[in-house]
């Protein structure tokens, strides 16, 4: 029995000693697989990934916990027509942590620096998914001359809590993950692998897993969640003028997406009733808005039905080019 106890202690001590080394070396090796580049902005690294050529340039704003792999299919479908860029907000993907809850003001500031560093011709087409829909609209409010057109993909809405259409994430497991990620145990046991969308192929799955196993991944999620919840002000949407806008809404309820067991029946009923109303309200951001529905898709439209986002982007790009030609001919 004494030998067994000693052996167990040795295993534990070796794990504590070698785990962090394993985590550090693995993450350093993973950095060789980063597509695009890491911009250094205000002493922090911001991951930017662009493909294609042409104008106007399209920029993609992630959901709360999303990063560039979510957009790979959309980028592939647009790159033959024009330049398209995804970037990871501070705290997610390959970007540095923010060190505190990240506000919409922080995000708008970072996005503007990314756009400026890419030296693209203004204005851009901006696509915002989920939480990114709020941040994209905030960017338009702050820099109205920088955005040519807008795509809002199942966008978050400032009145979600007021309408009982949002429940904060239970962050207890994320906090545990943040506390132990440095040990390498999450990576070694493959604990995050099941969270990769089943529709991802091998290459996208690998890219997603690499991000999940970063030491800073879970701490970044906490920064995102805490900052995002402050955006539910309960105030009506702000009118953004006559900016061409395509609003894309999901088609499946939480129950149909398999999330029914996570919420109360009262909340599920409320969300099913209010979410479509909030999405239709998005058209009020502009007097040049269109409302589309991603038939058969849940909330994760960039992954489940990227083709409808591609269609919206290309529509706005072609319309912008036609308008530009007409203005030059005049």
Q: Which residues pair with 151 in a beta bridge?
A: 127, 246
Phi-psi region of 272 (alpha: psi -120 to 50; beta: other; left: phi over 0): alpha
Would the pLDDT of 320 be above 60?
A: yes
Residue 17 in tokens: 């000693």
**Among the listed residues 112, 107, 105, 109, the one whose alpha carbon sits nearest the alpha carbon of residue 146:** 112
Q: What is the predicted pLDDT for the residue at 327?
A: 64
**pLDDT band for position 59 (50/70/90)?**
very high
User: Alpha-carbon Rg of the chain, whole angstroms?
Assistant: 21
**pLDDT band for position 199 (50/70/90)?**
low
What is the rounded CA–CA span in Å between residue 208 and residue 217? 11
Would the pLDDT of 60 be above 80?
A: yes
CA separation (Å) from 296 to 249, 255, 277, 303, 308?
Answer: 11, 13, 18, 12, 12
Q: What is the predicted pLDDT for the residue at 190?
A: 81
Lowest pLDDT segment from 22-31, 60-69, 165-174, 239-248? 165-174
Q: Which helix (H) or strand (E) holds 87?
A: strand 84-87
Residue 109: exposure state from Cβ atoms within 10 A (0-12, 13-18, ≥19)? middle
DSSP label of 214 = S
What is the rounded CA–CA span in Å between residue 98 and residue 107? 10
Residue 125 in tokens: 């087409």
Question: Could you read off the pLDDT of 146-179 as tens digits, one per residue?
Answer: 999 999 999 999 998 888 877 776 678 888 888 8
Question: Could you read off the pLDDT of 99-110 as tens digits, one per residue?
Answer: 888 889 999 999
Q: What percent of the chain has pLDDT over 70?
A: 91
Lowest pLDDT segment from 78-92, 112-126, 141-155, 180-194? 180-194
Would the pLDDT of 8 be above 90?
A: no
Would the pLDDT of 211 be above 60?
A: yes
**pLDDT band for position 4 (50/70/90)?**
low
Domain ranges for the chain, please list them.
23-329
Architecture of domain 23-329: 3-Layer(aba) Sandwich (3.40)
Q: What is the predicted pLDDT for the residue at 172?
A: 83
């Amino acid at each position: 029995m004494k030998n067994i106890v000693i052996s167990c202690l040795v295993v534990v001590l070796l794990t504590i000693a070698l785990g962090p080394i394993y985590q550090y070396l693995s993450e350093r090796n993973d950095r060789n697989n980063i597509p695009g580049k890491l911009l250094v902005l205000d002493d922090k690294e911001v991951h930017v990934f662009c493909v294609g050529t042409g104008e106007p340039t399209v920029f993609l704003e992630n959901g709360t916990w999303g990063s560039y792999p979510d957009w790979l299919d959309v980028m592939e479908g647009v790159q033959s027509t024009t330049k398209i860029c995804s970037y990871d907000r501070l705290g997610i993907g390959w970007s540095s942590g923010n060190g505190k809850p990240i506000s919409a003001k922080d995000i708008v500031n970072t996005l503007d620096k990314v756009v400026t560093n890419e030296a693209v011709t203004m204005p851009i087409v901006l696509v915002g998914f989920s939480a990114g829909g709020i941040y994209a609209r905030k960017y338009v409010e702050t820099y109205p001359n920088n955005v040519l057109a807008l795509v809002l993909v199942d966008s978050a809405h400032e009145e979600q809590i007021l309408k009982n259409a949002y429940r904060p994430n239970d962050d207890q497991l994320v906090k545990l993950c943040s506390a132990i990620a440095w040990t390498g145990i999450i990576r070694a046991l493959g604990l995050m692998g099941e969270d990769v969308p089943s529709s991802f192929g091998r290459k996208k799955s690998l890219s997603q897993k690499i991000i999940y196993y970063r030491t800073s991944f879970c701490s970044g999620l906490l920064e995102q969640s805490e900052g995002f919840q402050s955006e539910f002000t309960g105030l009506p949407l702000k009118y953004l003028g006559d900016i061409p806008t395509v609003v894309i809404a999901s088609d499946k309820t939480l129950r149909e997406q398999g999330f029914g067991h996570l919420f109360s029946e009262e909340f599920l009923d409320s969300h099913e009733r209010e979410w479509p109303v909030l999405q239709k309200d998005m058209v009020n951001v502009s007097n040049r808005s269109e409302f589309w529905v991603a038939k058969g898709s849940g909330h994760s439209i960039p992954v489940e039905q990227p083709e409808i986002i591609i269609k919206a982007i290309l529509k706005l790009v072609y319309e912008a080019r036609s308008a530009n030609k007409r203005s030059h001919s005049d």
